[in-house]
Chains A and B, each alone.
Chain A
Amino acid sequence: DAGVIQSPRHEVTEMGQEVTLRCKPISGHDYLFWYRQTMMRGLELLIYFNNNVPIDDSGMPEDRFSAKMPNASFSTLKIQPSEPRDSAVYFCASSPPGNEKLFFGSGTQLSVL
């Protein structure tokens, strides 16, 4: 299995631009999570889905952030408009049915100038 796949690996954009991060979970996993990691705040859960349905988005910092999961094999995290304080590493993770172990992707390093 290829594991959780995230794209792009690096994204550099200017303030005010729209940013879309993509994630392909491991096939058969029914939970998908979006986390953000910064030096100041560590790892924070933004939102998670179960069977493509958003369960808890209380970690999404502002209305500028939105996430979708149109099918079991694809999810997006969108920031519009982006701001410099959004600069961080964004991780996607998935877990299989009946197992709380999380499998993480390699992350997207986002830099907003």
Chain B
Amino acid sequence: KQEVTQIPAALSVPEGENLVLNCSFTDSAIYNLQWFRQDPGKGLTSLLLIQSSQREQTSGRLNASLDKSSGRSTLYIAASQPGDSATYLCAVERSSWGKLQFGSGTQVVVTP
């Protein structure tokens, strides 16, 4: 059974620092991995999607890497801003389309 873990559960950094968020999964036979952002009382917003054949994806200040063999993904957010404060979740897609398994998330606070 696939398990997805995100450590730490919470993180606080001063504005301008780079953020490093970790995601680990137990079964390397994944179809893809997605990173989401969730703001309080809101739905999830997809940030980056990495196919199983890819090693990384980039969008603006965000960069996500994937190492299937070690069961790890890392989300980097460069030069953090208070607007980056949110909960970040990773999710792995198993063999079937759409069957995402989510981690429990890392709650990030960026202080001015």
Across the interface, do B93 and A100 meet the contact criterion of CB distance under 8 Å? yes
**Which residues of B are found within 8 Å of A95, using beta-carbon distances?**
98
**Which residues of B are found within 8 Å of A106, using beta-carbon distances?**
41-43
Q: Does B55 reach chain A (CB closer than 8 Å)?
A: no
Interface size on B, residues (CB 8 A): 23
Residue with the highest number of chain B CB atoms closer than 10 Å, among A95, A101, A102, A106: A102
**Which residues of B are found within 8 Å of A55, using beta-carbon distances?**
96, 98
**Which residues of B are found within 8 Å of A100, using beta-carbon distances?**
31-32, 34, 49, 93, 97-98
Q: Does A74 reach chain B (CB closer than 8 Å)?
A: no
**Stretch touching chain B among A11-19, A40-48, A75-83:** A40-48
A 92-107 to B, binary, CB cutoff 8 A, 1 in contact else 0: 0101000011111111
Q: Does B11 reach chain A (CB closer than 8 Å)?
A: no
Q: Does A72 reach chain B (CB closer than 8 Å)?
A: no
Given that A43-B89, A100-B49, A100-B93 are contacting pairs, would A107 and B43 also be in contact in the complex, using a CB cutoff of 8 Å?
yes
Q: What is the interface of chain B, defined by CB distance below 8 A to chain A?
A: 31-32, 34, 41-46, 49, 89, 91, 93, 96-105
10 further A-B pairs in the complex, CB-CB below 8 A; given A48-B98, A102-B44: A42-B102, A42-B104, A43-B100, A45-B100, A56-B98, A101-B49, A102-B46, A103-B46, A106-B41, A106-B42
